Amino acid sequence: MARQKLSDELTTYGYVFSVKKTLLTFALFFAGILMLGQFFGLGRVSCGVVAAAGLVMLPFFIRNSYKNRFCQQRFSSLGIYMEQFLYSFQKSGKILVTLMDVRELFEGDPMGEVLDRAIYHINHTYTEKDVERSALAMIEKVYPYPGLSAMHEFACQTEDIGGDYSGGILLLLEDRRAWADRVYEQMQLKKKKRMDVVLSIIISLILAVMVYIMAGRMGVDVSDHPVSQIVTCVVLVSDLLIYYRADAKLAVGYFDEDVHSMSEEEADAAFERLERYEASPGNRLAGHALKKRLTRETQRVFPQWLMALSLYLQTENVQRAILASYESAPGVLKPPLREMIGRLRRYPSDRGAYSDFLASLQLPEVRSAMKMLYSISEGGGGDASSQIEDIIRRSRKMEDKARGIHNDDAIAGMYALFLAPQLTGGFKLLVDMILLFSVYMGKMV
């Protein structure tokens, strides 16, 4: 996504420009910076430098504040929409009826306007084949969460295929609940970490000013020394930047916007590169990175494909169901599915076609699913729907665990911000101690 202008971003997040409010905000912020400068004994020039840097950053602080509120509101709206969509679709089995039913919950909410556009598109478009899919894509564009796309795709496939979809609805409800719980927990943890960063900045600055108190008792003033003035400016500006980074991280992680769904062409190229890398010992590092990417993408979309497959299995045998699922399958699964379908056309009972499916990625949930599908194809699989639901649940748990690790990495990044003020404060403390020693010794001579 192209980088927006700051003014456009603020408008997107609901900021209404007011000359009076803007001037008051800048005046209060400027007064705060001046008080901080006085506290550290900064001269006019040094204080002006810190104030100028702070005023330059102020619009970005405002942006962070509005963005955080905007993302929290969108997260809440999306959670309500997904839950109510699933309950309503469970009753009607029709996308248009579901959207009209859910729309009533969003009066005065931006989600309501998006739903209006989607409903209008379905009711007034006559030239598209998959009008429901394109209408739902309008919602996904505004709320870019992969779980939303998976839910919409399941609804479209259910309308196209039919069959008993109650098990899939329950799985999607469980997935939505796990996502909401995970994001809420992460949100609360990030808020706590941001407060930890603020406390770290305050404590480091208090410790740094202790040298001035010590110097005063010794009859020495080091705060007006040029070196001290420069270091203090650098430290204060650095702490403003540290807080900005911690504040900016609060709005990240609501919708997994960084997730890119791999296309069929990208998947073809990726699997071809993986084969070359694995054949050459010199490319092991690149092969490991590519394999990790393919693994994460597969873990994310594999349950989605299994749910679609379970609908086809209600009316088709395994081979026909796999063939029917190919067209709407996620891009990363199409290359291995093509190979599998080709082998099954030649030898319908080829066990290797199942066991070799994505074998290079060594995913236990994929291996379990393929064993189950082969067993069903041979007439000994029992209740296919319940077995697929069990595999999907296990796949979702593994995916949720992987996302949890990703969230832990993000929190670890905030811990680095917690340590940063201690480093800047320690640096200032060290410089001031050296200055105190040198000035005091100079007086003794």
Q: Is 220 helix (H, G, I), strand (E, B) or coil?
A: coil
Give 303-326 pLDDT, tens digit per residue: 888 888 887 887 788 898 899 889
Distance CA 64, CA 190 (A): 14
pLDDT value of position 406: 58
**What are the start-end ranges of the E strands in 158-267?**
none
CA 400 to each of CA 158, 181, 300: distance values in angstroms, whole numbers, following the listed order: 25, 11, 9
Higher-pLDDT residue of 118, 299: 118
Q: Is residue 113 very low, low, confident or very high in pLDDT (cuts 50, 70, 90)?
A: very high
Q: What is the pLDDT of residues 273-305, one digit of tens each?
A: 988 888 787 778 888 889 988 988 888 888 888
**What's the helix, strand, coil split of the chain in %, to 5?**
80, 0, 20
Higher pLDDT, 288 or 10: 288
| Distance separating alpha carbons of residues 70 and 260, to the nearest angstrom | 23
d(CA 167, CA 375): 21
Task: Kindly state the tokens that stand for 109.
Answer: 């909410």
Q: Closest Cα partner for 240 from 41, 424, 3?
A: 424
* pLDDT score, position 138: 94
pLDDT reported for residue 337: 95
DSSP 105: T
Confidence of residue 403 (pLDDT cuts 50, 70, 90): low
> What secondary structure, in 3-state letters, does 367-403 show?
HHHHHHHHHHHCCCCCCHHHHHHHHHHHHHHHHHHHH
For the entire predicted model, the pTM comes to 0.74
What whole-number distance in Å separates Cα of residue 378 and Cα of residue 369? 14
User: What pLDDT is stored for residue 2 in this prediction?
Assistant: 40
Average pLDDT, integer, range 382-388: 68
What's the rounded Cα separation, in Å, for the pair 121 and 132? 8
In angstroms, the CA 92 to CA 155 distance is 11
pLDDT of residue 120: 95
DSSP assignment letter at 25: H
**Interacting residues of 149 by C-beta distance below 8 A, sequence separation 6+:** 140, 261
Which is more confident, 291 or 183?
291
Question: What are the pLDDT digits (tens) for 45-102?
Answer: 888 888 888 888 888 888 888 888 888 888 999 999 999 999 999 999 999 999 999 9
Please check the confidence at residue 444 and state whether its pLDDT lies above 70. Answer: no
The b/e string for 209-221 (b: 16+ C-beta within 10 A; e otherwise) is bebbeebeeeebe
pLDDT top residue among 137 and 283: 137
| Alpha-carbon gap, residue 360 to 247, rounded angstroms | 41
Q: Are 6 and 59 in contact (CB under 8 A)?
A: yes
Highest mean pLDDT (candidates 82-91, 122-131, 313-322, 357-366): 82-91
Q: Where are the domains of the chain?
A: 23-93+144-445
**Structure tokens of 30?**
């400027």
Percent of the chain with pLDDT over 70: 90
| Model pLDDT for residues 408-443, shown as the tens digit of each residue | 666 666 778 888 888 888 888 888 888 887 876 766
